[in-house]
Structure 1
Amino acid sequence: MNKLRFLHIPKTAGSTFSSILTKQYRGKVNFEFSGDNELDIKRFRELSLGEQKTVVLFTGHAPILTGIPEADDIAIITILREPVSRVKSFCQHVSEGKSPHLVAAFPPESFTLDEFLYSENNEISNLQARMLIDYERHRVEPLVTNFSMEELKNRALENLFEKVRCFGIQEYFDESLILFADTLGWSMPFYEYRNRKDIKRLLKFEDHHIGRIKELNAVDIAVYQAAKERFLDKINSGDYNTKKLAVFKQAKRIISPALHTYRQTGRAIIRLFR
């Protein structure tokens, strides 16, 4: 298979999608970015030249330009999510203690939305646009803070439309998968959802919380609206494989529960569709 990079923006259905990639690239060597760009470059360069050449799939959290040509100069795909929904999901994730780098600052037992949303944490502010430009979690001041909101939007969209081979939209997840499959020559990408939230500890978002999230993500909202419009144009065009999507949705009703059974019991599943 051709080399591929999945630019995984946190809380955009990436965990589920990563499991799909694992199946599509079964047996291939994967390098996963951690979110610490300098450390990731060091980790990759510590591999032998032979080991570096065997990497076929790059996944994980890193900006669109990683500083590793082997990852930057190959086909890139990504998934975007409605910004308010993404941040709400990230808040829930942090409140459950699932972000190790934030547990000390925001321990689950004392987590409050008001504190977190006013904490100046840079992962809740225009993260999708920034990762499409230049994002570094551990940098004190991200480089993109010097851009105007209009510049941020335009740079993010330019990279999304010109440097990314193919992108999906989380709220059109199945449609996105078929687009990826046809573009990249995959088998049918059946899946089960991963990394679900703890329904016993759901956060309650008030109107002022939603207002704060929108305030923090004005650029992401503009980028998402433009990206969604481009995506819908693509899947509503005559080139999109609507027949394959219909077959996929019908088969998924059978296959997805079977995948769950397989993961829970280890029983074999026969692949019925390719």
Structure 2
Amino acid sequence: MFNSINQYPIIFTHVPRSGGTTLVSVMGRQYKKEDQFFFYVREKSGNTDEALAEFSKMPENRQMQMKLLQGHTSYGIHEYYKDYTYITLLRDPVERVISYYYYILKLPGHYLHNILMSNKMKLEGFADSGLSAELDNIQTRQISGIQLKSHEKCDRNMLETAKHNLITHYKIFGITERFDETLLLLQQQFGWNYPFYTALNTIENKPGRNQISARALALIEKANQYDIELYAFAVEQFNQIINNKGPAFQRDLEKFRKYNRIIEKISRPYTGNLGFTLWDFYIKLTR
């Protein structure tokens, strides 16, 4: 555990369609709203330029107040700070692109929605379209922090930079497919209340990977070869971290999953995460 005085702000590099919305909902309950800033994507243009400009113009004392910065940004926001902590979630690249395609189809406000609909674009065409940098090793792009023009391709230098940043600058990086373990690592690192959650921003009736054509899968893999390597590297490192935690971590994980199921049942009929809010309030009273 590093010095808690020097860990803020937490900078969450939110990779699109990685489970980050659920993580954001958890983190949002841990800190005051005025101590958070969202680098959200303007869906009409598909970038965070306006949010970045807004943040850069913020008075320095307000910037220094921030405990949590989050959004679809790349490594590099720390230039405003002497002390900081990066975190991120990485997802299986093929699953991420599949999810992104079906997400766009179901979100009329997304800047790519009309293009897909007007061209009746199937997943195969989408994967090979080059419509967005998010189809070309977006995880490598974001973690490397190397800025490219929209038409420029990732290269191996970006991959190696991303690996270096992940190990050197990201105090905790999680795996979407290992979300509960990731949350527990974060909770232990930052001293959070139990990070109970319910999955958000999910896509109903999305076909499984075994229902996707071999050609579509091959095209996604071809366009995301560096992300596939980065993900494999991250999983290997993540496994080592979990193994080093020992049996006590596994016992805590089982307990967390058990209680999360209970809290989720309470919250499901309501809006506003009622069960989670009540739990947080109970923890504060009993501390």
Task: Give the TM-score normalised by structure 2.
Answer: 0.82
Kindly indicate whether residue 246 of structure 2 is the aligned counterpart of residue 236 of structure 1: no
Determine the structure 1 residue equivalent to 2:253: 245
Q: CA deviation at 1:156?
A: 1.0
SS in 1 for 2:129: coil
**Conserved? CA contact 2:38–2:71, under 8 Å:** yes
- Provide the residue aligned with 1:95 in structure 2: 105
1:184 and 2:193 are equivalent in the alignment: no
Q: Which amino acid aligns with 1:133?
A: S
Following superposition of structure 1 onto structure 2, how do residues 29-68 of structure 1 map, counting pairs within 5 Å? 29-35=35-41, 36-66=47-77, 68=79
Letter in 2 for 1:256: E
1:113 and 2:119 aligned: no
Structure 1: unaligned runs, 5 residues or longer:
none
In the alignment, which of 253, 264, 269 is matched to residue 261 of structure 1? Answer: 269
1:73 to 1:102, Cα distance in 2 relative to 1, 3 A: farther
SS state at 1:24 partner: coil
Which residue identity does 1:213 align to in structure 2?
A: I
Q: Which moved more, 1:59-68 or 1:15-24?
A: 59-68
Aligned AA (2:249): N
Q: Which amino acid aligns with 2:93?
A: P
Q: What is the SS of the residue equivalent to 2:170?
A: coil
Distance 1:108 1:74, change over 3 A: farther
CA 1:48–1:253: 2 relative to 1, 3 Å: same
- CA 1:211–1:190: 2 relative to 1, 3 Å: same
- Give the root-mean-square deviation of aligned CA atoms: 2.8
| Change beyond 3 A, Cα 1:265–1:153 | closer
CA distance in 2, matches of 1:190, 1:198: 22
After TM superposition, list the pairs within 5 Å mapping 1:139-150 onto structure 2. 139-142=149-152, 145=153, 148-149=155-156
> What secondary structure does 2:268 align onto?
helix
How far is the alpha carbon of 1:105 from its aligned partner? 2.5
Alignment map for 1:194-213 (pairs within 5 Å)? 194-199=200-205, 205-213=212-220
Structure 2: segments with no counterpart, 5+ residues: 42-46
* Secondary structure at 2:29 match in 1: helix
- Indicate the residue corresponding to 1:8 in structure 2: 14
Q: Is the 8 A contact 2:94 2:221 kept in 1?
A: yes
